[in-house]
Amino acid sequence: MPDNSSSSTSAGTSADPTFRLGGDLPVNRLGFGAMRLPRKDLTSPVRDPGTGRAVLRRAVELGVNHIDTAWFYRYEDVAANDLIREALHPYPAGLVIATKVGPMWDERGVPRGQARPGQLRALVEQNLSSLGLDRLDLVYLRVGGMSGPGGESIAERFAALAELRDEGLIRHLGVSNVDAAQLAEAREIAPVAALQNDFHIQRRGSAGLLDSCAAAGIAFVPFFPLGGGHDPIDPARLTEVAKRHDATPAQVALAWLLAASPALLAIPGTGSIEHLEENLAAAHLRLTDQDLAELDT
């Protein structure tokens, strides 16, 4: 569990609302995740692409300069990368786009195993082409399937991405769904700018990794900041704190993340402008020490 007494001030805020990703890319710590642009979840119908483009434009208007995506965030004929390119290209100065590679998908759009080292170049090139870029700001090696991290070496695959970084196709590298040993393995090969694991107010198994990342200057990016899949956040435990601040439980959950560590970057995703504006307003929510203590019991 993060030590909020040391990572937040008496007003419940982290030291800085921005983070220098990879040491040279300043981003606001509350960004945007593109996974929900094609559809709300795995059982929902496809969303209107026009709405997705409007959400992206509004996100940038509201100060988002860190968008997290992946080529495989797609359903039917709607793909997150296409929407990002159509809505925002040519990209505004300072916009950082992060993507991830590793999972392989069959013709039905179902994940089927992981890419071998020799297959990663094609996946990186898919992202470059679909986003309309010559170089990707940040590429994560996404490890494993839907299960938790650990249990396999990532050295050969991460080394393959490091070669693409050396060629200039990638600016910074990250790892996703990894444990401490896998993070250490990657850092022996090339600098790691960011780590993306499952983490939120009710799921804190990666708290030790969060501390390690903060100490090393590595961004920690929860891929389910508001819960997801079979692990949703229970809003009831957030309700009292939310009432005190005239906020929503989701806003409190995001504010808790931002208070947990100055290295934490939150990327809540949505296909709704209303929910987007609600999420981004959490950047201005200041939790007190009392709030944090209640949320940690």
CA 244 to chain centre: 28
Residue 274 burial (10 A CB sphere; 0-12, 13-18, 19+): exposed
Active-site residue, selected from the candidate residues 73, 75, 91, 140:
73
Distance CA 171, CA 253 (A): 31
* Token pair 């808790």 in the structure block, residue: 256
Distance CA 188, CA 191 (A): 8
CA–CA–CA angle 176, 179, 180 (5° rounding) = 120
Give the DSSP per-residue string, 40-102: SSTTSPPPPHHHHHHHHHHHHHTT--EEE--TT-EETTEEHHHHHHHHHPSPPTT-EEEEEE-
CA–CA–CA angle 132, 137, 142 (5° rounding) = 100
Distance CA 265, CA 141 (A): 18
CB 260 within 8 A of CB 2: yes
3-state secondary structure of 176: strand
Q: Tokens for 66, please give them.
A: 């860190």
CA–CA–CA angle 190, 193, 199 (5° rounding) = 125
Peptide bond just before 90 cis, omega within 30 deg: yes
3-state secondary structure of 152: coil
Q: Is 73 assigned a catalytic role? A: yes
The residues assigned a catalytic role are 73
